[in-house]
Amino acid sequence: DIVMTQSPDSLAVSLGERATINCKSSQSVLYSSNNKNYLAWYQQKPGQPPKVLIYWASTRESGVPDRFSGSGSGTDFTLTISSLQAEDVAVYYCQQYYTTLPLTFGGGTKVEIK
């Protein structure tokens, strides 16, 4: 299995400040033939299903605010919220889809307001 490790487990950020979440995979999720990283980010608010924010490590899903951005390649990835808003309080998960045996998620990072 590709193990996805997120850090930190939780963070508290002031409104309007930057939040940075890290995700590390136990092996590279970069497919050399197309130079794409098979990595997605999700946001999950309490009582709701996850919502995809980013795929291919850095492509924003339609309708996602541009304060959310994804970066990284190979085994190290980052989700950045450039200016935290109250509605961004949630748990964030990364997911690799480089291999389906099995598809795996990170353990989650809880973002709160300081």
One of 51, 60, 67, 82 touching other proteins (CB under 8 A): 51
Q: Does 24 bind other proteins (CB under 8 A)?
A: no
How many residues lie near other proteins (CB under 8 A)?
Answer: 22
Supply φ then ψ for residue 59, to 5 degrees. -90, 120
Dihedral angle of Cα 45, 50, 51, 53, to the nearest 10 degrees: 90
Amino acid making up residue 10: S
One of 49, 63, 66, 86 touching other proteins (CB under 8 A): 49
Q: Does 32 bind other proteins (CB under 8 A)?
A: no
One of 16, 35, 101, 114 touching other proteins (CB under 8 A): 101
Q: Is 5 left (phi over 0), alpha (psi -120 to 50) or beta?
A: beta
Strand 10-13 versus strand 109-113 pairing type: parallel
Judged by the rule CB under 8 A, the positions of this chain that interact with other proteins are: 38, 40, 42, 48-52, 55, 61, 93, 95, 97, 100-108
